[in-house]
Amino acid sequence: MNAIFKHGPSPQHRLVLVLFCSALLIFFDHKMNSFESVRGYLQSMVSPLQYLATTPKQMMNWAAENIVTRRQLVADNEQYKVNELVFHEQALQLDIVKKENERLRALLSSPLRTDTRKMVAEILTVDSDPYTHQVVINRGANDGVYEGQAVIDDEGIVGQILHVGTTSSRVLLITDVTHAIPVRISRNGVRLIANGVGVIDQLSHSHVPHSADVRVGDVLVTSGLGSKFPEGYPVAKVTFVMQDESHAFARIQSQPVAKIDRLRYVLLLWPEHSESTVINDSAAKIIENQLLEKGVSE
């Protein structure tokens, strides 16, 4: 230990260097978004650490699953059998309704909906940073995950993919301050935007006129606008409505339907490559042609 004679640059110089670097990083990452691709590589580099950090939790889960009494298992099994019966009956009903819906849609000549591709993913880590609401899942570019992909759990929308690594990727939750999602009220179709506010069980809706028909208890589903999220998945339930005329807009808050604070498995959705896109394409072509014609005539 020879701290009497200092080596290298003084602490001041080091501090200036580090602060300069971090200022550059903040500027280029936040303002210019020039780290989008690099983030993917960084995510892949640190993913072993994330896998390692989650082992204690996995061991606990394993123990909780394996150390149960026989009686508990039998009871669970019984419950699952009852559930299966109920779900099977519902599936039969759904099948009939689906066919009917397809027929009606065909009559109206609107695009048919096909089943979307889905994949189950497991949560690796939940961020401890209180300023961002993100989780890391164990699926990455190898599984075909892409940026902006919709992520749901068994109850509703959870968020979207933010950065993709090779074997893991990062999900931005709908409650993050920087996230907003287009929704509509399933009761009457009023369109709103659900903003995250940085609180795990709250979303807010800005710029809603006082005349909008919103009531406490309304279910908000994705509207499919913006084509990021597929249409019709539940997002939140309205918990608070204040139509005070002294403010410019009504104050509306809602609570996410998905159990965002206790996620374990999530579903990744791939968009449906069906006729709808084809029809959109052809519509776009028609509009383009018309515009061209107009341009020519002018």
Partner 1 sequence: MTLSSRLIILLTFLVALMASIMPLPLSVDAFRPDWVLVVLLYWCLALPARVNVISAGVMGFILDVLLGSTLGVHAGAMAIAIYIVAGNFQKIRNFSLWQQSMIVGVLSALYHLIVFWLQRFLTDAVFLPSYLYPVITTIILWPWAFLLLRKIRRNFRIK
Residues that bind partner 1 (CB under 8 A): 1-3, 6-7, 11, 14-15, 17-19, 21-26, 29-30, 35, 39, 42-43, 45-46, 49-50, 52-54, 56-57, 123, 125-132, 134, 136, 162-163, 170, 177-178, 198, 200, 261-262
Tell me the C-alpha distance between 38 and 99, whole Å: 47
CB under 8 Å to 99, separation ≥6 — which residues?
none
Smaller CB distance to partner 1: residue 170 or 205?
170
Smaller CB distance to partner 1: residue 129 or 244?
129
**What's the min distance (Å) between Cβ of 235 and partner 1?**
20
HEC string for 244-262:
CCCCCCEEEEEEECCCHHH
Smaller CB distance to partner 1: residue 30 or 70?
30
| Strand ranges for the chain from DSSP E | 118-126, 134-137, 150-152, 157-164, 169-173, 180-185, 191-196, 203-208, 219-222, 234-242, 250-256, 265-269
Single-letter amino acid, residue 77: N
**What's the min distance (Å) between Cβ of 11 and partner 1?**
5
**What's the min distance (Å) between Cβ of 58 and partner 1?**
10
Tell me the C-alpha distance between 78 and 4, whole Å: 74
CB under 8 Å to 121, separation ≥6 — which residues?
137, 138, 139, 151, 265, 266, 267, 268
**What's the min distance (Å) between Cβ of 119 and partner 1?**
21
Smaller CB distance to partner 1: residue 1 or 108?
1
Smaller CB distance to partner 1: residue 195 or 222?
195
Residues written for the chain? 298
**What's the min distance (Å) between Cβ of 128 and partner 1?**
5
**What's the min distance (Å) between Cβ of 265 and partner 1?**
14
Smaller CB distance to partner 1: residue 16 or 278?
16
Cα torsion angle, 268, 265, 182, 130, sign:
negative
Smaller CB distance to partner 1: residue 127 or 143?
127
**What's the min distance (Å) between Cβ of 241 and partner 1?**
22
Residue 131: name the closest of 178, 165, 169 by CA. 178
Two tokens at 142? 């190898």
